[in-house]
Structure 1
Amino acid sequence: MRVLGISPLDKDSTVSIVEDGEILFAAGEERFSRVKQQDGFPQLALEKALEYTGSKMSDFDQVCYPFLTWENEAKLFNQNLEDERQFIRNFEPADLNRQIKEALTRVPDRNEPIHGLEHPNAIMEKGFLHSSYYSMAGAQRLASNNAAIKGSRHWGEGATESFQRWEQSLTQGLRAMGWEKPVKRMDHHLSHAANSYLASGFERALCITLDGYGSGLAGSASEARDGKIHRLHGISYPNSLGTLYEHVTSSLGFKPSRHEGKIVGLASYGDPSILGDILLSRIQQEPGDYRIYEANNVFFSRYLASKFPKIDVAAAYQHALEVVATNYVRYWVEKTGIDTVVLSGGVTANVKLNQRIFEIEGVNHIFVYPNMGDGGCGTGAALYHCWPGGVKDSISSAYFGPDYSEAEIAAELEAEGLEYTRPNNLAAEVASLIHSGEVVARFDGRMEYGPRALGNRSILYHAREPEVNQWLNKRLGRTEFMPFAPVTLYEAREKCYHNIRGAEHSAEFMTITFDCTEFMRENCPAAVHVDGTARPQLVQREVNPGYYDILKEYEKISGIPSLINTSFNMHEEPIVNTPHDAVRAFVQGALDYLAIGPFLVKQPNPAH
C-alpha cells in the first residue's frame, strides 16, 4: 500500500511517500523554495517526491493529512476555550506583587560577559508606555484575566480562519496535481505518536506527544504495543507547554516557532530559582495532567522580561517546562510500568527536556522522532495508514530527501567557475584539512529530513577551539547562544558521554543532550555547553560510510573521535538541498573548502 502524507500547511510544509511502513521519500518545501519553514501547499517538494520515487498521483492508495476538518477542529478548541474561562475565574493565584519583589532581591550582580548579550544582566528595555501596559495586562488580576481570555478568543478566531484557508489550499493543490478522491484526515496527536512509535523499532512503548496545538490537544500519553497505539490521556489545549515556550521566545526578542533553541542556550547562563517558583505557581499540576493559568496571556512573559535579566527569564521557563513535562511523563511511566519512552511534537525539539525525561527513574530506553515538529506529522499519518502490522526495525537514518549525480555536481561547479579535484582518499584529505584548522562544508548523498543537519548537508570543524562559536557564527551571519553540536564515532560514545546507554539510537539524530565526560570537556570544548552537556550525533559506518570515514581519519591524526557538525546554510536560510544551493552557500559563507560528492573545492575568495 502506497500512501502520500502531507504535513500541516501552516508552517514547515512537508511531503512524505510511504509504502507498507517504509519511508521512501520525505522532504520539506522550504528546501526547494529556499524560504525557511515554508507554509502553503508543498508543490515543489511533491513534484520532486513523485519524480524521485517514479510515482504518479494515481499510484497512491491514500493521501493523508494530520488534522481534522476545520469544522471539527473548531468544535474541539471552542469547547476547550469555554472551559478555560471557567478555570481562569476559579483559579486562586499567589500574590504576584510580593513574589516579584522577593524575586528582584535574588538577582545577582554579574560581570562575566555572555557572547550575544550587551550585558549579562541585560533585560528587555521597553519604553514607559509598553512597560506600564505589561505591568497591567501581565500582572494585575482583572486586567490579566481579561488579556488571557481575549488572547484565547483571538487565537480561536485566527485558528478557524487558518484551518479554513489551509483546507482550501490542500484541496486545490491536490486537485491541480490530479487527486480527486477524498483526503484521509486524522487526529494530530495520533500522527505524532505514530511517527515516534512506528519509527522506533520498539515492540512496546509509552508515546508522549507535546506541542502547541493539535485536534483539541496540546499533548498526549499513549500505550503502544505490537504496532498498535492506544491513547491513555490527552492534555487539553490551551494548557500548552508549546505556547508557554513560544511566549518567552517572543518576549525575549526572538521568533516563536523558530528560535526556541536560543532560549535553551540562554537558559543555561541564568538562575532558574529566581523566577521558577513564580511560573510553577501558575501551573496547576495533578497526577498525570496539568492546567496552565492564563495560558494565552503573552503579556505575563513580557512583564517578566521587562523587569528581570533575559538569562533568568529563559532559565525559569526552561525549568518550568522540565518540571511539568517530567512530572507528567513520570506519572504515566509509573502507571503503565513501561520503561521505554518515545517522543514527538514540537516541544520535544527541546534537547535538554529530552535528557530530563531520559533521567526519570524507570525510563531505560528513549527515542525521539528526528522530525519531531509538525513537519513530521505527514509521515506519521502515512506510516499509520499503511502499517502492515506488528513491529519493524527502527529507521536507521533520516536521509529521505533527494540526492544528485556526479554529473549534476560537476556541471554546477563549472558553471560557477570553481576549480575542483577528485582525491583518491577524500576522507583522509578532509580530515587533514580540518585538523589543520580549515572549515569544510560537506554535501553528499540524500538530504536529511527534519530540522537537523546529519552530515550530508553539514559544515565540519575541529572542536578543540571554543572561540569557533563566535567567529564561525559571525562568518555565517548567525547569532547563537548554544555551542555547536558534535558528531562522534558511535563506538566512542561512552568515552565522550555519560549515561548514554538506552539513548544511543536517538543520539544518532541529534535529539538529546548528555553530560560530557572529562575527556570530552578537555578535548572538545567548542561542543560543550556551559552546563557541561552536549547534543551529539553518533555515526555508524554502515549508516553513512563517507561521513564516518572523515571522522575516523580525523581520530587517527588527533586521537579525538568527535568533530563540530553545524548545518550547511546561510543565516535564516534553510539547509542546502541542491548542488546549486551548496555552491552558493560555500562561496557566500567564505568557507575554506567544499567536499561535494567525490570532489574537493578550495575557496577562491578566502575570508582570512
Structure 2
Amino acid sequence: MKVLGISPLDKDATVSIVEDGEILYAAGEERFTRNKQQDGFPRQALEKALDYTGLSMSDFDTVCYPFLTWENERKLYTQNLEDEKAFIKSFQPADLSEQIREAQTRVPDRNERIHGLSHPNAIMEKNFAYNSFYNMAGAQRLTSNSAALKGSKRWAEGATASFRHYEEELEQGLTEMGWTGPVKRMEHHLSHAANSYLCSGFENALCVTLDGYGSGLAGSVSEARNGKIHRRHSIPYPNSLGTLYEHVTSSLGFKPSRHEGKIVGLASYGDPSILGNILLSRIQQDPGDFRVYEANNVYFSRYLASKFPKIDVAAAYQYALEKVATDYVRYWVEKTGLDTLVLSGGVVANVKLNQRLFEIEGVNHIFVYPNMGDGGCASGAALYHAWPGGIRESIQSAYMGPDYSESRMENALKAEGLEYRRPDNLAAEVAALIHSGEVVARFDGRMEYGPRALGNRSILYHASEPEVNQWLNSRLGRTEFMPFAPVTLYEARETCYHNIQGAEHAAEFMTITFDCTEFMKEHCPAAVHIDGTARPQLIRREVNPGYYDIVKEYEKISGVPSLINTSFNMHEEPIVNSPEDAVRAFVQGALDYLAIGPFLVKQPNPAH
C-alpha cells in the first residue's frame, strides 16, 4: 500500500511517501524554496518526491493529512476555550506581588561574561509605557485574566482563518498535482504517536506527545503494544507546554517556533530557583494531568522578562517545563508499567527535557522521532495508514531526502569556477585538515529529514577549543547560547557519556543530552555545555560509512573519537539541499574546505 502524507501547511510543510510501512522519501518544502519553515502547499517537495521515487499521483492508495477539517478543529478548540473560562475563574493564584518582591532579593550579582549578552544580568529593557502595561496585563489579576481570555479569543480567530485557508490550499494543490480522490484526515496527536512508535522498533512502549496545538489537544499519552496504539490520556489545549515555551521565547526577544533552542542554552546560565516556583504556582498539577493558568497571556512572561535577568527567566521556564512534563510522564510510567518511552511533538525538540524524561525511575529505553515537530506528522499519518501490522525494526537513519549525482556536483563546482581534487582517501585527508584546525563542510548522500544535520549536510571541526563557539558562530552569522553538538563513534559512547545505555538509538539522531565524562570534558570542551552536558550524534559505519570514516581517521590522529557537527547552512537559511546550495553556502560562509561527494575543494577566498 502506497500512501502520501502531507504535514500541516501552517509551517514547515513536508511531504512523506510510505509504502507498506516503510518511509521511501521525506523532505520539507523549506529545503527547496530556501525559506526556513516554509508554509503553504509543498509543491516543490512533492514534485521532487515523485521524481525521486518514480511514482505518480495515481499510484497512491491514500493521501492523508494530520488535522481534521477546519469545522471539526474549530468545534474542539471552541469547547476547550469555554472550559478555560471556568478554570481561570475558579483558580486561586498566589500573591504575585509578594512572590516577585521575594524573588528579586535572590538575584545574585554576576560578572562573568556570557557571549551574546551585554551583561550576565541583562533584562529585556522597555520604556515606562511598556513596563506599566506588562505590570497590568501580566500581573494584576482582573486585567491579566482579561488578557488571557482575549489572547485565547485572538488565537481561536487566527486558528479558524488559518485552518480554512490551508484547507483550501491543500485541496487546490492536490487537484493541480492530479489527485482526484478524497483526503484522509487524521487526529493530529495520533500522527505524532504513530511516527514515534512505528519507527522505534519497540514492541511495547508508552507514547508521549507534547506540542503547541493539535486537534483540540496539547499533548497525549498512549499505550502501544504489538503494533497497536491505544490513547490513555489527553491534555486539552490551551494547557500547552509548547505555548508556555513559545511565550518565553518571544518575551526574551527571539522567534517562537524557531529559536526555542536558544532558551535551552540560556537557561543553563541562570538560577531556576529564583522564579521557578512562581511559574509552578500557576500550573495546577494533578496525578497524570495538569492545567496552565492564563495559558494564552503572553504578557506574564514579558512582565517577568522586564524585571529579571534573561538567564533566570529562561532557567525558570526550562525548570517548569521539565518538572511538569516529568511528573506527568512518571505517573503514566508507573500506571502502565511500561519501561520504554517514545516521544514526538514540538516540545520534545527540547533535548534537556528528553534527558530528564529518560532519567525517570522505571524508564529503561527511550526513542525520540527525529522529525519531532509538525513536519514529522506527514510520515506519522502515512505510516499509520500504510502499516501492515506487527512490529518492524527501527529506522536506521534519517537520510530520507534527495541525493545528487557526481556529475551534478562537479557541474556546480565548475559553475562557480572552483578548483577541486578527487583524493584517493578523502576521509583521511578531511580528518587531517580538521586536526590541523581547518573547518570542513561535508555534502554527500541523501539529505537528512528533520531539523538536525546528521553528517550529510554538516560542517565539521575539532572540539578541543572552547573558543570555537564564538568565532565559528561569528563566521556563520549565528548567535547561539548552546555549544556545538558532537558526533561520536558509536563504540566510544560510554567513554564520552554517562548513562547512555537504553538511549543509544535516540542519540543517533541528536535528540537527547547526556552528562559528559571527564574524558569528554577534557578533550572536547567546545562540545560540552556549561552544565556538563552534550547533545551527541552517535555514528555507526553501517549507517554512513563515509561520515564514520572521517571521525575514525580523526581518532587515529588525535586519540579523540568525537568532532563538532553543526548544520551546513547560512544564518537563518535552511540546511543546504542541492550541490548548488552547498557551493553557495561554502563560498559565502568562508569555510576552509568543502568535501562534496568524492571531491575536495579549498576555499579560494579564505577568511583568515
Please say whether Structure 1 and Structure 2 have the same fold, judged by a TM-score greater than 0.5: yes
**What secondary structure is seen at the aligned counterpart in 2 of 1:17?**
strand
| Residue segments in structure 2 that go unaligned for 5+ positions in a row | none
Deviations 1:551-577 (A, max 9, x none): 000000000000000000000000000
Match of 2:576, SS? coil
1:199 corresponds in structure 2 to 199
The yes-or-no answer on 1:361 pairing with 2:353 is: no
Q: Per the alignment, in what secondary structure is the counterpart of residue 552 of structure 1?
A: helix
Q: Distance in 2 between matches of 1:71 and 1:371?
A: 28
* Partner residue, 1:5: 5
2:482 paired with 1:482: yes
- Post-superposition CA distance 1:373-404 (Å, at most 9, x none): 00000100000000000000000000000000
Q: For the residues of structure 2 that align with 1:570 and 1:227, how far apart are their CA atoms?
A: 41
Q: Report the equivalent of 1:58.
A: 58
1:600 maps to which residue?
600
CA distance in 2, matches of 1:224, 1:442: 38
Name the SS for the 1:284 alignment partner.
strand
Letter in 2 for 1:79: Q
**Do structure 1's residue 234 and structure 2's residue 234 form an aligned pair?**
yes
Aligned to 1:246: 246
Match of 1:439 in 2: 439
Q: 2 CA distance for matches of 1:412 and 1:275? A: 53
Residue type at the aligned position of 1:242: G
Structure 1 unaligned regions, length at least 5: none
CA deviation string 1:407-439 (max 9, x = no partner) = 000011001000000000000000000000000
Residues 579-606 of structure 1 show CA distances to partners (whole Å, capped at 9, x for unaligned) of 0000000000000000000000000000
- Tell me by how many angstroms 1:94 deviates: 0.1
Partner of 1:470 in structure 2? Answer: 470
Is 1:506 matched up with 2:506?
yes
Deviations 1:32-84 (A, max 9, x none): 00000000000000000000000000000000000000000000000000000
* Secondary structure of residue in 1 paired with 2:92: coil
Partner of 1:580: 580
One-letter amino acid matched to 2:19: E
Cα distance in structure 1, aligned partners of 2:3 and 2:420: 41
Counterpart AA for 2:162 = S
Q: What residue in structure 1 maps to residue 524 of structure 2?
A: 524
What letter matches 2:217 in structure 1?
Answer: L
Q: Secondary structure at the match of 1:600?
A: strand
In structure 2, the partner of 1:556 is 556
Question: Quick one: distance in 2 between partners of 1:132 and 1:421?
Answer: 63
What amino acid is the match of 1:503? A
Q: CA RMSD in A?
A: 0.2
Distance, in Å, in 1 between the alignment partners of 2:594 and 2:356 is 37
- Return the letter of the residue paired with 1:290: F
What is the rounded CA distance, in whole Å, between the counterparts of 2:264 and 2:70 in structure 1? 33
Q: Residue by residue, what CA displacement relative to the aligned partner does 1:81-124 show, whole Å, maximum 9, x if unpaired?
A: 00000000110000000000000000000000000000000000
Letter in 1 for 2:380: G
Correspondences of 1:38-187 after superposition (within 5 Å): 38-187=38-187
Give the Cα separation in 2 of the matches to 1:182 and 1:5.
13
Amino acid at match of 1:138: G
The aligned runs of 1:275-314 (5 Å cut-off) are 275-314=275-314
Rounded Cα–Cα distance in structure 2 between residues aligned with 1:228 and 1:174: 30
- SS, match of residue 220 in structure 1: strand
CA distance in structure 2 between the partners assigned to 1:411 and 1:251 by the alignment: 46
Letter in 2 for 1:128: F
SS for the counterpart of 2:35 is: coil
One-letter code aligned to 2:382: A
Distance 2:383 2:175 in 1: 23
**Counterpart Cα distance in 1 of 2:286 and 2:37:** 35
Distance in 2, matches of 1:410 and 1:285, equals 59
SS of the counterpart of 2:423?
A: coil
Provide the rounded CA distance (Å) in 2 between the counterparts of 1:237 and 1:294. 12
Residue number in structure 2 paired with 1:547 = 547
Cα distance in 1 for partners of 2:234, 2:195 equals 17
Tell me the amino acid that sits aligned with residue 305 of structure 1: A
The equivalent residue for 1:566 is: 566
1:221 corresponds to which letter in structure 2?
V
- Counterparts in 2 of 1:249-260, with a 5 A limit? 249-260=249-260
> In the aligned structure 2, how far is the partner of 1:550 from the partner of 1:329?
39
Using the size of structure 2 for normalisation, the TM-score is 1.00
Report SS of the residue matched to 1:472: helix
Identity of aligned residues (%): 83
Which letter does structure 2 place at the counterpart of 1:66? P
Deviation for aligned residue 1:153: 0.4
The alpha carbon displacement at 1:263 in A equals 0.0
User: Shift of the alpha carbon at 1:465?
Assistant: 0.2
Classify the secondary structure of the residue corresponding to 2:277: helix
Cα distance in structure 1, aligned partners of 2:481 and 2:27: 28
Counterpart in the other structure of 2:515: 515
Distance in 1 separating the partners of 2:32 and 2:77: 33
Partner secondary structure for residue 175 of structure 2: helix
Q: Give the AA of the match of 1:153.
A: K
Partner of 2:323: 323
Which consecutive aligned stretches of 4+ in structure 1 deviate over 2 angstroms post-superposition? none
- Rounded to whole Å, the distance in 2 between the matches of 1:407 and 1:75 is 54
Cα distance in 2 for partners of 1:388, 1:494 equals: 37
Distance 1:275 1:180 in 2: 55
Q: Please give the secondary structure, in 2, of the residue aligned with 1:520.
A: helix
* TM-superposition CA deviations, 1:328-373 (whole Å, max 9, x none): 0000000000000000000000000000000000000000000000
Counterpart in the other structure of 2:209: 209
Q: Secondary structure at the match of 2:39?
A: coil
What is the identity, as a one-letter code, of the residue corresponding to 2:454?
L
Residues in 2 aligned to 1:204 and 1:56: alpha-carbon distance in whole angstroms: 36
For residue 180 of structure 1, report the CA deviation from its aligned partner: 1.2
SS in 1 for 2:463: coil
What is the letter of the counterpart of residue 429 of structure 2? Answer: E
- SS state of the match for residue 269, structure 1? coil
- Determine the C-alpha separation between the residues in 1 that align with 2:409 and 2:117: 41
Distance in 2 of aligned mates of 1:166 and 1:132: 38
The residue that corresponds to 1:537 in the other structure is 537
Q: Which residue of 2 aligns with 1:35?
A: 35
User: Given the alignment of the two structures, is residue 449 of structure 1 paired with residue 454 of structure 2, yes or no?
Assistant: no
Paired letter, 1:340: T
1:254 CA drift (Å): 0.1
For 1:128-186, what per-residue CA distance to the aligned partner results, in whole angstroms no more than 9, with x for missing partners? 00000000000000000000000000000000000000000000000000001110000
Distance 2:361 2:246 in 1: 29
